[in-house]
Amino acid sequence: MRRRRWFWPAAVAGVLAAALLGWLLWTGQAISLDSLLPTLLRRDSTWQSMQARGTWRVGMDPSFPPFESLDASGSPQGYDVELARKLAAAWGMEVEVVSIGFDSLVDALQAAKVDAIASAYPYDARLTRDVSFSQPYFDSGLRLVVPAESLIQGSADLNGKRVGVEWGSEGDMIGRQWQRDGIDLALVPFETPQDAVAALAGKRDESEAVDAILVDSVTLRQAQAAGAALSATGPYVTGNPYVIVVPRRASDLLQQINTGLEQLRASGDLDRLEQKWFGEP
């Protein structure tokens, strides 16, 4: 399938190169094929197809609210859905959401079943030879979370404190690293990050009470939206940026997405999207 997919674009590029070379020779101008072919092959067929259709086919796994889910009528909704529609509107296009299981999203992109992925997809350096990533639009990285009235301002204030983590998670590993670094904290493991949030909010048994927790920012924002008086302290402990994924050669589409994200960030629309789907922090 891969050979068949690239045959026609390569053939068209070859014909165009030959025609242009003939015209230049006929007019007495010289040209190097080494400089001509890269220019022809850089054409973004994904963006051209989108313009011809007037639609942007976006792959999403609608099982991760509030980023993407299905409403009662089965229509897609969420942060990523609205973000994609805002970007497409600036291009004069409609969004066609294609529901795909998360683990199959990249395969669908490479098979040209979708034009891009916008599905709370974290940047993955291992895939940079296969696909291209937009600039980040949301960071779901790890945060040190405390009650709103806490005096804890960072890891240096955790000596003698109890810190809740999801068992076996990145937060668990970071907590153990802090212990090795000499911070005298006690790790309290929980089955889920939501259990850790409940313990910090005083909704668990007293034996599970904690002074702080290490959870991702999505869990924190969901807890805040539900009314928990919690806040992140200090910078992100680790980053986990969400990005839009496009085919490796889709340079025009990538540029359009990055320009659109910059404009949405400058206008405050990204902040408003977060507040709409997560509530006030």
- The mean per-residue pLDDT over the stretch 229-236 comes to 95
Q: CA separation (Å) from 139 to 64, 120, 240, 243, 247?
A: 15, 10, 5, 9, 22
Sign of CA dihedral 98, 99, 102, 104: negative
Query: Is residue 21 pLDDT above 70, yes or no?
Result: no
CB contact at 8 A, 164 and 199: yes
Output the domain CATH number for residue 154: 3.40.190.10
Residue 279 pLDDT: 85
Asked if 255 contacts 52 with a C-beta cutoff of 8 angstroms, the reply is no
User: Strand pairing of 212-216 and 138-139?
Assistant: unpaired
> Which residues 6+ apart lie within 8 Å of 119 measured at CB?
59, 60, 61, 64, 67, 68, 80, 102, 105
What is the reported pLDDT for 175?
98
Instruction: Convert the pLDDT of each residue in 133-162 to its tens digit.
Output: 999 999 999 999 999 999 999 999 999 999
Whether residue 54 sits in one domain with residue 133: yes
pLDDT in tens, 87-102: 999 999 999 999 999 9
In Å, how far are 30, 37, 59 from 33, measured between CA atoms?
Answer: 10, 6, 37
Are residues 164 and 229 located together in one domain of the fold? yes
Same domain for 110 and 133? Answer: yes
Are 130 and 53 members of one domain?
yes
Q: What is the maximum alpha-carbon separation in the chain?
A: 88
The whole-model pTM stands at 0.81
Residue written as token pair 């497409």: 88
Task: Answer whether residue 172 shows pLDDT above 70.
Answer: yes
Q: At 166, is the pLDDT very low, low, confident or very high (cuts 50, 70, 90)?
A: very high
The answer on 110 and 164 residing in a single domain is no
pLDDT at 125 over 50: yes
Q: Which residues on neighbouring strands pair with residue 212, listed in sequence order?
A: 163
DSSP string, 15-29: HHHHHHHHHHHHTT-
Residue 209 and residue 266 in one domain: no
How many angstroms separate the CA atoms of 190 and 175, rounded? 13
Query: Looking at the structure, do residues 146 and 228 belong to the same domain, yes or no?
Result: yes
Q: Which residues pair with 98 in a beta bridge?
A: 59
pLDDT tens for 249-274 read 999 999 999 999 999 999 999 999 99
How many structural domains does the chain have?
3
150 and 215 belong to one structural domain = yes
**Co-location of 184 and 228 in the same domain:** yes
Identify whether residues 254 and 190 lie together within a single domain: no
Domain that holds residue 28: 2-41
Task: Please tell me whether residues 158 and 96 are part of one structural domain.
Answer: no
Same domain (yes/no): 67, 87: yes
**Confidence tier at 43 by pLDDT (50, 70, 90):** confident
